[in-house]
Amino acid sequence: MAKSSFPTPQDAETAFYEALESGDLEAMMEVWADDEEIVCVHPGGPRIAGYEQVRDSWARILASGQRLKVQLSEQVYLQGMMLSLHSVHENIILGNEAAQQHPVITTNVYLRTAGGWRMIAHHSSLAPQSVRPAGDSSRAAPKTLH
């Protein structure tokens, strides 16, 4: 079966987050390059490398049955002819509970291939207190430039 073609890195990113929200492992892996050089870091987790290991990590996450809603903000795109780097803030809402929000800072990297744009790296980490949403009562003091 042929993989989906993503004409732009933004199309690949949209498909990635749709697959994450729907809990669809096959759709998730459609976005990833079929390559042993891909890497993934989930919040608080180790670096995972290689297609099968990345697939296994997403299978475990999606098998939980916990549905996520992801709201993206502060998107920064750096795009060249063959690579596109996306830095985004994810506000992950677990289930239907707005109180269960988890701000995450993520970097997604996409590679232009013969079959369209594919994800080659996904690195997420919990956001520091200083970038938590405005309604978060645990918000820290303003950032200090140095």
Which domains are assigned to the chain? 9-129 (3.10.450.50)
Which position has the higher pLDDT, 113 or 96?
113
Range 68-96 average pLDDT: 89
From CA 2, how far away is CA 33, in angstroms rounded?
13
Yes or no: say if 90 and 124 are a contact pair by the CB < 8 Å rule: yes
Range 15-23 average pLDDT: 94
Yes or no: say if 75 and 87 are a contact pair by the CB < 8 Å rule: yes
Confidence class for position 71, pLDDT limits 50, 70, 90: confident
Short-list 59, 54, 15, CA closest to 36: 54
From CA 9, how far away is CA 64, in angstroms rounded?
28
Would you say residue 132 has pLDDT above 60?
no
- Bridge partners, 89 (sequence order): 73, 105
Confidence class for position 100, pLDDT limits 50, 70, 90: low
Range 37-45 average pLDDT: 95
pTM, to two decimals: 0.83
Confidence class for position 54, pLDDT limits 50, 70, 90: very high
- What is the chain's mean pLDDT, rounded? 85
